[in-house]
Amino acid sequence: QVQLVESGGGLVMAGDSLRLSCAASGRTFSIYTMGWFRQAPGQEREFVTAITWSVGSTYYADSVKGRFTISRDNAKNTVYLQMNSLKPEDTAVYYCAAHGNSEWRLRVGEPDYWGQGTQVTVSS
């Protein structure tokens, strides 16, 4: 089993930056891909970004491309989401996710593991 714990959410102004962290514990050797989803009230959970653990290939939703950057620290078993030029429409609960052997299964919303979520609120 793998446990994922997010941190770094909060209330910021439009145009500000924020960095989220997701620390993995447990059977971390089984992780192939980690990434982020987000869900606003009344909306479906949507894919934001993902990264493969070995090669470091990255994937981004069009809505965040050029503004958000995903990275990982293998030694710390931690993935980061740097969020720049934040907009009110970025307001959502952000969830960390991981999959054991497939990046595409994670991207379509079928990860093996979910974090508990962290709230990001962007004020105009």
According to the model, what pLDDT value does residue 43 have? 96
Residue pLDDT, tens place only, 29-83: 899 999 999 999 999 999 999 999 989 999 999 999 999 999 999 999 999 999 9
According to the model, what pLDDT value does residue 84 have? 98
According to the model, what pLDDT value does residue 27 have? 94
According to the model, what pLDDT value does residue 124 have? 92
According to the model, what pLDDT value does residue 101 have? 93
Mean pLDDT computed over 87-94? 98
Distance linking the first and last C-alpha atoms of the chain: 40
Other residues' Cβ atoms within 10 Å of the Cβ of residue 114: 15
Our CA angle for 24, 108, 19, nearest 5°, is 45
Token pair of 18, please? 């924020």
